[in-house]
Amino acid sequence: MPEYDYVYLGDNARAPYGTRSFEVVYRFTRQAVCRLFEEGCQLVILACNTASAKALRTIQQKDLPLLDPTRRVLGVIRPTVEAIDSISRTKHVGVLGTSGTISSLSYSIEIEKMFPFMTVTGEACPMWVPLVENNEFDSPGADYFIQRHIEHILAVDPSIDTLILGCTHYPLLICKIRRFLPGGVALFSQGERVAQSLRDYLTRHPEMDSRLGKQATRRFLTTESAAKFSEAASLFLSRPIEVEHITIS
């Protein structure tokens, strides 16, 4: 969807959110949403699984009616769950995520609502985000932490045939994860599915689509050092970007 205008806000100064409490994640996420509203964003996607798990529902139900009932805040968990039944054959699914995402049971709860016949097993992988953020995701030292969690979740439920990568950092670990996966176990990465879900949402809600800018602009905001963020972003985007440093509270 390259024709749309995008504002990306990374709260890198206070990341990672994965080990923080519900109250802290909600407060930080609400502050970020408010800042994006100030930037003129009509639709905000919480691209973080932890924020989607711990803050989305409260923001949608409690805050949006007061902030601006015409705007929308969406998450990444529901689009993922909607697609999972068509992928899994055994109906046994594993979720790899941060401690916050797994302890919230958000995937289990959402899958239970849509597909009560499915079995869900969660595996917290607290070292995986630091490996990516410190550019160690392709190092030999990463093998231990990846193999350990893959073997553990498959030992808990050997019938798992689909693993959800429940964190935006994890796609950078795909090559290593696949090295330790037995044949027949699929990896589900969220990016493309969330993008497709956004397109579908805007098709169903033309009133929102008409409010979105379509000048193909891109802005990147970070609460950390702009130079540090730009260096890390190149791991994901494979190109240099201009970054603005901001503060939120």
Domain boundaries, the chain: 6-76+192-245, 77-189
> What pLDDT, on a 0 to 100 scale, did the predictor assign at position 166?
94
Among all residues, which ones are annotated catalytic? 48, 167
Which fold, 77-189? Rossmann fold (3.40.50)
**Spatial distance between the Cα atoms of 98 and 15, rounded to a whole number of angstroms:** 12
Residues 73/59, Cβ–Cβ less than 8 Å: yes
Residue 222, helix vs strand vs coil: strand
pLDDT tens figures, 108-158: 999 999 999 999 999 999 999 999 888 898 899 899 999 999 999 999 999
136/185 Cα distance (integer angstroms): 25
So what's the pLDDT on residue 148?
97
> One digit per residue, pLDDT tens: the chain, 249 residues?
999 999 999 999 998 888 899 999 999 999 999 999 999 999 999 999 999 999 999 999 999 999 999 999 999 999 999 999 999 999 999 999 999 899 999 999 999 999 999 999 999 999 999 998 888 988 998 999 999 999 999 999 999 999 999 998 899 999 999 999 999 999 999 988 999 999 999 999 999 999 999 999 999 999 999 998 998 888 778 888 999 999 998
- In the block, which residue shows the tokens 């529901």? 78
Q: How far is CA 32 from CA 3, 136, 169, in A?
A: 24, 28, 19
| Cis peptide bond upstream of 126, omega within 30 | no
Please give the Cα distance from 4 to 24 (Å, whole number): 31
CA of residue 93 relative to chain centroid, distance:
18
pLDDT of residue 234: 82
- Residue showing tokens 């919230």: 104
Q: Which CATH number fits domain 6-76+192-245: 3.40.50.300, 3.40.50.1860, 3.40.50.1100, 3.30.1370.160?
A: 3.40.50.1860
* Token code pair at residue 34: 């408010």
CA dist 151 and 159 (Å) reads: 13
The CA distance from 21 to 14, in Å, is: 13
